[in-house]
Amino acid sequence: MVWPEMFMGPCTGSIIFTVKGAIKLPVDKSTFSLNCWITFQYISGMLINGGGTFDGQGHKNFHFVLFSCNALEFSGVRITARGNSPKTDGIHIGYSSCIKIADSMISTQDDCISIGLGSKDVEIAGVHCRLGHGFSLGSLRKYPNEADVTGLSVRGCPMVGTQNGGGIKTWASGVKRNAYNLSIDDITMKDVAVNLVCSPNVPGQNITLENIDLAYTGREGPVNSYCAHVKGATRGIQKPQSCI
């Protein structure tokens, strides 16, 4: 059992944190206050490896929170949460830049990966997303003095049984913030409900649907496309027929 711990710098250089076996959080949460379990702050040049497991033993929290991070890469990571576990995002990113998440598997009851405010140049590639809400960007325009989100790329990511494919969440407020330079390529979906629905007050603009090829399996087909308050264009294959 490992109680909440903080590893705080400033530290630079070659630092290796090796995890072997299972590191478990005590089940009785009345014995501690849990905002974060294992925390790394003000550290540069660190590698976490070893193939071990962090087992939260049912505590409901985001699995990984990346806040104010730069040049960080995840690869070969497996994240799972038990059924009926809301608010268990796999990875949440905020006010961070140059983040890459690749070749991993995430199965939670909330967002597989959530992209928060102030995120720049985030690449998600080869991430298998199961159950939960899929990939999410937002919530935008909720608070004053928010930072824009720019440079998000999602490619080669299969999604199975998620509530959404990719979602951008905004609030109907007077706050003016934007998400731009977003790219979603080579995404496959199975048992996923997808609606492209934007705000009537601030329609989605400059959206391009290119080479969409979706097939419905089951008796309730055929598959159809639905959009609301969207302005854009289409290119290439459009199955089903585009709603733009």
Contact 119, 96 (CB under 8 A): yes
110 a catalytic residue: yes
Architecture of domain 5-193: 3 Solenoid (2.160)
Average pLDDT value for the chain: 88
Q: Given the structure tokens 């960007």, which residue do they identify? A: 137
Give me the pLDDT at residue 62, please: 86
The one catalytic residue among 128, 133, 186, 229: 133
CATH 2.160.20.10 domain extents, the chain: 5-193
Least confident of 10-24, 62-76, 112-126, 161-175: 161-175
For the residues of 4-46, what is the DSSP string, one character each?
-EEEEEEE-S-EEEE--SEEE--S-GGGS--S-SEEEEEE-SE
Give me the pLDDT at residue 87, please: 79
Q: What is the pLDDT of residues 194-210, one digit of tens each?
A: 666 677 777 788 889 89
Q: Nearest-CA neighbor of 137 among 198, 226, 213?
A: 198
Give me the pLDDT at residue 196, please: 66
Q: What is the pLDDT of residues 114-139, one digit of tens each?
A: 999 999 999 999 999 998 889 999 87
Partners of 185 in the β-ladder: 155
89 a catalytic residue: no
Give me the pLDDT at residue 85, please: 77
The one catalytic residue among 89, 92, 110, 111: 110
